[in-house]
Amino acid sequence: MSGNINFFMLNSVQLISSSLEILDSHELINNSIPWFLMEASSFLRYQVRGFGSFRIWLCLLLLLVLQNCSLVLSDSPYLVGMGSYDITGPAADVNMMGYANTEQIASGIHFRLKSRAFIVAGPNGRRVVFVNLDACMASQLVNIKVLERLKARYGDLYNENNVAISGIHTHAGPGGYLQYVVYIVTSLGFVRQSFDVIVDGIEKSIVEAHNNLHPGKIYVNKGDLLDAGVNRSPSAYLNNPAEERSKYKYNVDKEMTLVKFVDDESGPVGSFNWFATHGTSMSRTNSLISGDNKGAAARFMEDWAEKNGLPKQTGVASSDDLGFLHMTSVLPRRVSTIIPEPDEITDDLMQLASSYEASGGRRLAGSNITRRIRSSQENNPKFVSAFCQSNCGDVSPNVLGTFCIDTHLPCDFNHSTCNGKNELCYGRGPGYPNEFESTRIIGNKQFLKAVDLFNSASEEIQGKIDYRHTYLDFSQLKVSVSTSTGGPQVVKTCPAAMGFAFAAGTTDGPGAFDFKQGDDKGNPFWRLVRNLLKTPGKEQVECQAPKPILLDTGEMKEPYDWAPAILPIQIIRIGQLVILCVPGEFTTMAGRRLRDAVKNVLISGSNGEFGTNIHVVLAGLTNTYSQYVTTFEEYQIQRYEGASTLYGPHTLSAYIQEFQKLATAMVENKEVPTNIQPPDMLEKQIGLLPGVMYDSTPPGVHFGDVSSDVAANSNFRKGTTVNATFYSACPRNDLLTEGTFALVEKLNGNDWIPVYDDDDWSLQFKWSRPSKFSPRSFATLEWTIPEDAASGVYRLRHSGASKPLIGSIKHFTGTSRAFAVR
């Protein structure tokens, strides 16, 4: 009998564990413990029906557990959870998203891309999810499919109302993951591999955040960051009313707003911040996958947190525990906790290095060897830091100004041209002419400011969780605006269209031919070309004026929609923090007007619920993408941003009107009905990018063999670069998600320990083919040795996957000759 009792007790414990997991997912966050006990007891009776007298023991044990839970829940007002996952897409053959440059094709990795998520659950039973993507922008189709997966996994717990997915606007990530034609033309249509890895990564980051939900506190802080962004369309900004401009010290927003998450047990577990600057430190000719300056900042801060022991693995954090956090002017690096202390270089060490030749390529049973250097720590809590995008529409990180590449003189102020040619005018980053250095500098500035705000954050977020969301048809939205005499007037937005200046590009990445910014006329030749695709009607021309229409995308429907019409708008509230989720790139002044309008509604209509210290941030490029939003005055100038404001001159007024409605509904505690839904066009997508046919090597050569090795008996000083080239295969065969194509290994006794991977700033993976259709390819690993790298013996390792003409994909690996680092 005792054996049966033990058996049933064991199953009872497992059952309670399972029950609590489900309850935590749906109900544990509620502040009413008696209500929760009632629900849990009911749930338990349902689960254990037929267990007889053991039901009593189960109920008693469950009540005991719940008592402990209530003690924990009472310590903090929220449950907080953080998660992240790799979303690095194809590192070969796929066009980069952002510059619309057909020649910008991915061919390696600068550092990996991630999806980072936080979940906050409040005492009112509501919860919100915010996801920040190292991607150019959010995608409507990606959102649809992520929400479908979340519904299948969690029911109605996470849905379109309380989930926001935002992009950092890097222009160095693989494209082809959006569903509208105009955004996937340069990628030769839809790229399923790009799409799938993003959807998978978002889901996994949210699941991780959900599983990490623990009682905790949230703090908010803000401060100015100078020299990380300049206005790239100052002539348009100057067309805003002088009285309005006089309210602001700068022609771009300099304020960073940071939210700090502190777990009651583990201490600080992450931070998200919003700051406006474009992800264009990496140029339109770069071919390495990169998170640009914001992705770099996130990488630096997560490395800094790891170096400072965050989050704590055991024990309870207190304010005293945070004293060791410090500012650093030295760029952090990824550090494995198993790297030994630095050794002095000796002749014996040099001799030891020379005894390790290149290993030669060998086949692998799987891709386990490609796991990254902290795979052994993957079950431990990790610090998640996201650098989110805001109203960056007219903000460039190329802060040295715009210059003509032929004369090195400043570009024309109004049109950003050089002797009438826009393609010669480029902005210069602070590391000019080195785009990697510019990316590092702008990323480091954001990182250092974030650490400062993180360390000094003292204002605790308090209050309920709330959200409002709706879909709107921006192609025909009625908008009430004021006339010049102050009276009301009803106008309409227009079907999407892009102006001639759109094709001129920006000073971050100029276009081609004879287009120029500030063009409100167009020219006869390009009108003729346009008319071959679609001639805009009179009503559309008048609606979009003074924009001369180059592409009437909103009325182009073959083979399917070229541009979106139905867009989401969303407000997320976490106490006194309010996040305005917008599906586009708002200019500086457009963002200011929207924030102020919503803030005024919340303060004036909340009966004191919102104080004057309310923090309203704008999250750009969120939930879908619909290009730019300028002010009415900026639209008249028709620079790139105005030409890319799709729905006509009253687009901003439409956003303000509809966000005010959402804010009013939030204040009055009313729901906002949605009568329309965006289209799901996954089944209509056309992809013309050919697949990988097969990979090959010369006779007698294996995948992973060294083509160009590190020189024999080499030793390198810190700050120098070492490289080796391997016979490789197309990276599209296996993205090695959460893995790596490149490793730096250090000799520790008789073992080779991985210390850097292709997610590190210092290590680059470059892939190339001898010719466009060649089945042969090469991988070059370049490691710039960090100044704080440990002295010792190292080698480079490349891993990948090859596809034979017949048969399945095979994984391989190989190493370089060893070398010494002084």
Catalytic residues: 396
CA distance 578 to 572: 6
CA distance 110 to 571: 34
CA distance 654 to 659: 8
Q: Is 547 left (phi over 0), alpha (psi -120 to 50) or beta?
A: beta
Q: Are 388 and 382 in contact (CB under 8 A)?
A: no
User: Beta partners for 214?
Assistant: 80
Helix, strand and coil content of the chain, in percent to the nearest 5, comes to: 30, 25, 45
CA distance 744 to 435: 24
Rg of the chain, C-alpha, whole Å: 28
Q: Are 322 and 308 in contact (CB under 8 A)?
A: no
Dmax over Cα atoms in the chain, in whole Å?
A: 95
Side chain identity, residue 537: G
CA distance 465 to 448: 30
The structure tokens 């009301």 sit at: 488
Between the alpha carbon of residue 185 and those of residues 60, 182, 563, the distances in Å are 63, 6, 12
CA distance 517 to 527: 17
Nearest to 418 by CA among 323, 504, 295: 504
Print the SS3 string covering 646-674.
CCCCCHHHHHHHHHHHHHHHHHCCCCCCC
Q: Are 444 and 297 in contact (CB under 8 A)?
A: yes
Per-residue burial over 215-251, b if 16 or more Cβ lie within 10 Å, else e, is bbbbbbbbeebeebbbbbbebbbebbeeeeeeeeeeb
Between the alpha carbon of residue 477 and those of residues 474, 624, 634, the distances in Å are 5, 18, 20
